[in-house]
Chain A
Amino acid sequence: MSEWIKVCALDDIDAEDVIRFDHGDRTFAVYRSEDDEVYATDGLCTHEQVHLADGLVMDEIIECPKHNGRFDYTTGEAKGAPVCVNLNSYPARVEDGTVFIQL
């Protein structure tokens, strides 16, 4: 059964940025958009398993730091070569200034 997991304070993520969040043996990328919405995806690029949290957030896109593979972080959709496989995305919300994701 899925549950809401506490990630961090909203202020721990800059606007239009991403952080890495490890939980158990899994790793996630948690995003804060320019208009303060939060999103979560798998943490590793589906191309070469690089941590997306080291990448660049532009509008709704996260770009992988190694090969510039691009995903829509609001949906996890791969946006073209060199990434071909979508990321899993997860519900995320902010409650009293704290970010939660549903796993």
Chain B
Amino acid sequence: MASKIPARDYSLIGDTSRRAREQGLVTAQWYQTEIPRKTLKQLMKRRDGPAIRDTLGWFALLAVTGGLVVALWGSWWVVPVLLVYGVFYGSASDSRWHECGHGTAFKTRWLNDWLYQLACFMIMREPTPWRWSHARHHTDTIIVGRDPEIAAPRPTSLAHHILAFFTLPQTWTTLKSVARHSLGQLSVDEADYIPEMEQPRVYRTARVWLLLHGLIIATAVLLQSWLPVMLAGVLPTLYGGWLSYIFGLTQHAGLAENVLDHRQNSRTVRMNPVFRFIYWNMNYHIEHHMYPMVPYHALPQLHQALKHDMPPVYPSTWAAYREIIPALWRQRTDPDYFVRRPVPATGKTPDAAAPAAA
């Protein structure tokens, strides 16, 4: 009988974290494809128009599908409508959370902040901890022991991925952390990346969230109906978050860990316009990591400017999964395996020992 493959230590305070620092992988200099400053400035330019248009469209879709859920409640016809509503609630909120967290979706700051808070509640990600964990994800992308957002740890746990498809482990983790934060406590990992001055904000928001979830449940009890909890709160995240998980795995799963080149640990995948609307162009993921200040609506142009120095684009989501599924399957028993991306030899991959500030 095969021996059990030992789990890797993805915690942020263990030996792997120390080793990452010793190897020069922490806050390191990452490879960047050169781009003229004038072009980059043009691409980084903030605009309100595209995100206002897309946000109004998103709200309209939520209102129409949510209205249909109310109208069809009690009939079996409500099931397919709920599935569509759930995707707009539990999956589209993922990309809104992400873009507004970067502060790039809108030019107007309060619009970014306002939509960030709303999307965080919908995707069940606490605003302050996730702002800091995502900053760390960009500093130390897929560096084991540093990145708190590694979605496909090795060796692969199939049970984890099946449960995560239904957003169960993520939601359970959030429910536990909201309870912990409402009591004024952080985990050891959280304390590693959330500065002390930000911690009161974490506790305050957790208490507001408990109140909001309590109100949603109280409304359901008062109306003697499941309808309120199917439209808001935890359940639509659970039944609607699956598409964001599908999208999310394309970003880094099965690729290299502990490299300082986003072309080797991230994917750019061609997606159809509907997916790109739901995902807000995060399918251009290498470009996003290389130049995170470029707003989602300018990523296709950034892709054009950088593509001479990029590995081949995956022609579809399915094409990406034809690589991801076998890679994750193999990583069940061979955690050292990863997909090597063909990187053009047009630039210089940075030396792991060269810190950013050098």
Residues of A within 8 A of B (CB): 14, 17, 44, 47-51, 55-56, 58, 63, 65-68, 70, 81-82, 84
In the assembled complex, the CB of B166 is this many whole angstroms from the nearest CB of chain A, namely 31
Return A98 CB to nearest CB of chain B, in Å. Answer: 21
In this complex, which of A17, A49, A65, A67 has the most chain B Cβ atoms within 10 angstroms of its Cβ? A67
Cα-based distance from A66 to B102 in the complex (angstroms)? 10
With A48-B356, A49-B357 known as contacts, the answer to whether A67 contacts B44 (CB < 8 A) is no
Distance between B294 CB and nearest chain A CB, rounded to angstroms: 10
CA distance A44 to B357 in the complex (A): 7
Contact A56 B41 (CB under 8 A): yes
The reply to whether B291 and A65 form a contact with Cβ atoms under 8 Å apart is: yes
In the assembled complex, the Cα of A67 lies from the Cα of B37 at a distance in Å of 18
Q: 1/0 per position for B287-301, CB-CB distance to A under 8 A?
A: 000011100000000
How far is the CB of B65 from the nearest CB of chain A, in Å? 32
When distances are taken between beta carbons in the complex, the residues of chain A under 8 Å from B292 are 65-68
Contact B135 A82 (CB under 8 A): yes
| A25 CB, min distance to chain B CBs, angstroms | 11
Neighbouring A residues of B46 by C-beta, 8 Å = 56, 58
How distant is the Cα of A56 from the Cα of B295 in the complex, in angstroms? Answer: 12
Which among B41, B139, B357 is the interface contact of A17 at CB below 8 angstroms?
B41
- The answer on a CB contact under 8 Å between B357 and A65 is no
Which of B107, B139, B197, B355 sits near A67, CB closer than 8 Å?
A: B139
Contact string, B111-153, partner A, CB cutoff 8 A, digits 1/0?
Answer: 0000000000000000010011001001100000000000000
B356 x A67 contact (CB < 8 A): no
**Which residues on A sit within 8 Å (CB–CB) of B131?**
81-82
B139 adjacent to A66 (CB under 8 Å): yes
Q: Distance (Å) between the CB of A60 and the closest chain B CB?
A: 13
CB distance from B107 to the nearest CB of A (A): 8
Pick 14 A–B contacts, CB within 8 A, sort by A.
A48-B356, A49-B27, A49-B355, A49-B356, A56-B41, A65-B291, A65-B293, A67-B135, A67-B139, A81-B132, A82-B131, A82-B132, A84-B197, A84-B198
Complex CA gap A49/B132 in Å reads 16
Q: CA–CA, A68 to B139, complex, Å?
A: 12
Q: When chains A and B are docked, how far (Å) is the Cα of A67 from the Cα of B140?
A: 12
- B293's partner among A14, A44, A55, A82 (CB-CB below 8 A) is A55
Contact among B37, B41, B195, B357 for A84, CB-based, below 8 A: B195
Residues of chain A contacted by B264 (CB below 8 angstroms): none
A-B interface, 6 closest residue pairs, ranked by CB to CB distance from nearest: A49-B357, A82-B135, A67-B135, A68-B103, A56-B44, A48-B139
Instruction: Tell me if B104 is interfacial: C-beta within 8 Å of chain A.
Output: yes
- In the assembled complex, which residues on chain B have CB atoms less than 8 Å from the CB atom of A84? 195, 197-198
Q: Is the CB of B293 within 8 A of A68?
A: yes
**Docked complex Cα distance between A79 and B355 (Å):** 25
Give chain A residues whose Cβ lies under 8 Å from the Cβ of B38: 14
A63 to B41, CA, bound (A): 12
The answer to whether A63 touches B293, judged by C-beta atoms less than 8 angstroms apart, is yes
**Residue of B whose beta carbon sits closest to that of A17:** B41
With A17-B41, A47-B135, A82-B135 known as contacts, the answer to whether A56 contacts B293 (CB < 8 A) is: yes
Cα distance A55–B292 when bound, in Å?
10
CA distance A81 to B44 in the complex (A): 20
